[in-house]
């Protein structure tokens, strides 16, 4: 059992007192980092300024650009030997965003994920198959340690090799799965190819889906195909990864764990808080991280707080699905991608011209990415073998950069549509989505 009523049903007034106390402690720790130490001196900030949660507005925001410009150790509050793990974003061009953890942080993170999984219905009697990337991607180890902390039997299956995934499910009686939503369509197709029905030939009963956008209609379709309940999760690597907010059995919003994260929703233009129930940009402050606390981190995700109480009894506020972003990042197959990452790779190739388009489409329920690239005129000589080789090289380098292999379409110069003013690089024709 991993139910913590002393935290999860704490009245909001008492929760605010706990948040204020932890915020003061967080500021004291943050002052030890080069970045925040300088910020605090510049703005005259000290932990004593914080008397209640509303005082958070006296602090400046932190952005992804701050993390990148102070890479690698500018936010670290402990000596390097005190940190025991790091996770960072993808990318070989420019600085990634990196997050450090000490032993306390890893234990706290495992508790949050265990609490989240219990909230969705996972128990210590379940067999939990983790079908996602490991390594620097937070979803692998995050769910691994959380499910183990809860007491479930965990299969660290990693991503891919779908037939083997099905064999693992049947051999060990898997009851719960974590994966990205689009993979479940491929998994179902593999069941059909093997002449199997997941509703009768497995013990599956619970899915945890996250890391890429999907609509509630898609979630319901997945549930109907497999005969399970599928629960949404929300997380981002800057806030550990998974375990930030999670659906309970009622599937009516994402409970954000307010003892670990002070949550604001602001107008992205004025940077002022919006009234409860109005949509705005999600901002987080960590309250229980030692090695690398973050203050008022702008996620760029757009959402709103949901009104009313949840029938499950948990008092922590609920977030609506993420409706979009305030920047140009998009999510494909669980990976966060910025168009500039793709452009930097393309510009390494002398054969590439000046224009390209990133086309996002939904094919058979799966999100697909195609990069259409104008080439220099001299490259259209009729040599198909040379063009195919160039396509493979570009796809390979893009895979290294964004962790997803796109389809490549090479076109003649001047053949891509042109727009007046700012170039439109991304054409998102996917089924209408609400992000997690």
Asked if the structure places residue 434 within a domain, the reply is no
The position carrying tokens 């001299």 is: 378
Higher pLDDT, 414 or 369: 369
- Judgement on whether residues 9 and 133 belong to the same structural domain of the protein: yes
d(CA 81, CA 68) in angstroms, rounded, equals: 22
pLDDT in tens, 287-327: 999 999 999 999 999 899 999 999 999 999 999 988 777 87
- Judgement on whether residues 306 and 421 belong to the same structural domain of the protein: no
Which pLDDT score is estimated for 178?
97
Which pLDDT score is estimated for 193?
95
Contacts of 229-234 with C-beta under 8 Å, sequence gap 24+, read 229/121, 229/205, 230/181, 230/206, 231/120, 231/121, 231/206, 231/207, 232/321, 232/436, 233/116, 233/208, 233/209, 233/436, 234/210, 234/319, 234/322, 234/436
Q: What is the CATH number of the domain that holds 380?
A: 3.30.300.30
Mean pLDDT of 339-354: 83
Asked if the structure places residue 108 within a domain, the reply is yes
- Judgement on whether residues 170 and 100 belong to the same structural domain of the protein: yes
- Judgement on whether residues 7 and 61 belong to the same structural domain of the protein: yes
The span from the first CA to the last CA of the chain, in angstroms, equals: 27
- Judgement on whether residues 166 and 275 belong to the same structural domain of the protein: yes
Which pLDDT score is estimated for 329?
79
- Judgement on whether residues 15 and 120 belong to the same structural domain of the protein: yes
Specify the pTM: 0.81
d(CA 326, CA 64) in angstroms, rounded, equals: 13
- The confidence band for 432, taking pLDDT boundaries of 50, 70 and 90, is low
Total of domains in the chain: 2
Higher pLDDT, 337 or 32: 32
Which among 327, 344, 361 is the end of a domain? 327
Q: What is the CATH number of the domain that holds 22?
A: 3.40.50.12780
Which among 292, 327, 362 is the end of a domain? 327
Mean pLDDT of 84-94: 77
Q: Which domain holds residue 403?
A: 335-428
Tokens (6 digits) for 168:
């693992």
CA atoms within 13 A on the CB side of 415: 13
Tokens (6 digits) for 237:
């690597």
Q: SS3 string of the chain?
A: CCCCHHHHCCCHHHHHHHHHHHHHHHHHHHCCCHHHHHHHHHHCCCHHHCCCHHHHHHCCCECHHHHHHCCCCCCCCCCHHHCCEEEECCCCCCCCCEEEECHHHHHHHHHHHHHHHHHHCCCCCCEEEECCCCCCCHHHHHHHHHHHHHCCEEECCCCCCHHHHHHHHHHHCCCEEEECHHHHHHHHHHHHHCCCCHHHHCCCCEEEECCCCCCHHHHHHHHHHHCCEEEEEEEEHHHCEEEEEEECCCCCCEEECCCCEEEEEECCCCCCECCCCCCEEEEEEECCCCCCCCCCEEEEEEECEECCCCCCCCCCCEECCECEECCCCEEECCEEECHHHHHHHHCCCCCEEEEEEEEEEEECCEEEEEEEEEECHHHCCCCHHHHHHHHHHHHHHHHHHHCCCCEEEEECCCCCCCCCCCCCCEEECCCCCCEC
Across the chain, mean pLDDT equals 91
- Give the pairing of strands 280-286 and 297-303: antiparallel
Closest to 4 measured CA to CA, from 117, 138, 106: 117
- The confidence band for 354, taking pLDDT boundaries of 50, 70 and 90, is low
Which pLDDT score is estimated for 185?
83
Asked if the structure places residue 418 within a domain, the reply is yes
Asked if the structure places residue 76 within a domain, the reply is yes
- Judgement on whether residues 312 and 420 belong to the same structural domain of the protein: no
Angle, helices 339-346 vs 384-402, to 10°: value is 140
Per the CB < 8 A criterion, the answer to whether 360 and 367 are in contact is yes
Asked if the structure places residue 220 within a domain, the reply is yes
- Judgement on whether residues 302 and 355 belong to the same structural domain of the protein: no
- Judgement on whether residues 125 and 8 belong to the same structural domain of the protein: yes
Asked if the structure places residue 311 within a domain, the reply is yes
d(CA 436, CA 430) in angstroms, rounded, equals: 15
Which among 288, 311, 327 is the end of a domain? 327
- The confidence band for 143, taking pLDDT boundaries of 50, 70 and 90, is very high
- Judgement on whether residues 119 and 256 belong to the same structural domain of the protein: yes
Phi-psi region of 45 (alpha: psi -120 to 50; beta: other; left: phi over 0): beta
- Judgement on whether residues 323 and 363 belong to the same structural domain of the protein: no
Q: Which residues pair with 280 in a beta bridge?
A: 303
pLDDT in tens, 222-267: 999 999 999 999 999 999 999 999 999 999 999 999 999 999 999 9
Asked if the structure places residue 65 within a domain, the reply is yes
Which pLDDT score is estimated for 137?
87
Closest to 341 measured CA to CA, from 411, 398, 422: 398
Asked if the structure places residue 43 within a domain, the reply is yes
Q: Which of 105-114, 335-344, 409-418 has the highest mean pLDDT?
A: 105-114
Mean pLDDT of 395-405: 92
Phi-psi region of 277 (alpha: psi -120 to 50; beta: other; left: phi over 0): left
Tell me what percent of the residues of the chain surpass a pLDDT of 90. Answer: 69
Tokens (6 digits) for 16:
């605010």
- Judgement on whether residues 191 and 50 belong to the same structural domain of the protein: yes
């Amino acid at each position: 059992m991993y139910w913590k009523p002393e935290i999860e049903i704490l009245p909001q007034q008492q929760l605010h007192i706990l948040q204020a106390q932890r915020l003061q402690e967080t500021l004291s720790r943050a002052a030890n980092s080069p970045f925040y130490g300088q910020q605090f001196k510049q703005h005259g900030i000290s932990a004593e300024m914080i008397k209640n949660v509303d005082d958070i507005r006296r602090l400046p925001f932190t952005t992804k650009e701050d993390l990148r410009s102070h890479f690698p150790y500018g936010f670290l509050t402990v000596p390097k030997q005190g940190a025991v793990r790091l996770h960072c974003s993808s990318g070989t061009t420019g600085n990634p965003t990196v997050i450090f953890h000490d032993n306390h942080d890893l234990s706290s993170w495992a508790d949050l994920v265990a609490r989240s999984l219990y909230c969705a219905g996972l128990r210590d009697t379940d067999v939990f198959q983790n079908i996602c990337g490991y390594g620097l991607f937070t979803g692998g180890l995050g769910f691994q340690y959380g499910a183990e902390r809860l007491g479930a039997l965990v299969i660290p299956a990693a991503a891919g090799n779908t037939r083997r995934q099905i064999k693992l499910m049947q051999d060990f009686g898997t009851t719960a799965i974590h994966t990205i939503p689009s993979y479940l369509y491929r998994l179902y197709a593999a069941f059909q190819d093997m002449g199997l029905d997941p509703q009768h030939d497995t013990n599956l009963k619970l899915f945890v889906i996250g890391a890429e956008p999907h609509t509630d209609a898609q979630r319901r379709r997945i549930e109907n195909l497999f005969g399970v309940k599928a629960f949404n999760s929300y997380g981002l690597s800057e806030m550990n990864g998974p375990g930030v907010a999670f659906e309970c059995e009622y599937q009516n919003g994402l409970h954000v764990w307010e003892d670990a994260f002070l949550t604001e929703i602001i107008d992205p233009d004025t940077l002022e808080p919006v009234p409860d129930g109005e949509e705005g940009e999600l901002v987080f402050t960590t309250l229980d991280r030692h090695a690398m606390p973050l203050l008022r981190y702008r996620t760029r995700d757009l959402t709103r707080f949901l009104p009313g109480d949840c029938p499950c009894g948990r008092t922590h506020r609920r977030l609506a699905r993420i409706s979009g972003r305030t920047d140009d990042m998009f999510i494909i197959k669980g990976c966060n991608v910025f168009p500039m990452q793709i452009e930097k790779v393309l510009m390494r190739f002398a054969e590439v011209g000046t224009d390209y388009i990133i086309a996002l489409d939904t094919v058979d329920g799966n999100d697909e990415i195609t990069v259409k690239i104008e080439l220099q005129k001299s490259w259209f000589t009729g040599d198909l073998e040379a063009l195919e080789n160039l396509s493979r090289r570009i796809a390979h380098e893009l895979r290294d950069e964004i962790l997803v292999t796109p389809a490549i379409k090479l076109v003649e110069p001047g053949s891509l549509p042109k727009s007046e003013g700012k170039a439109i690089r991304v054409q998102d024709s996917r089924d209408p989505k609400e992000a997690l």
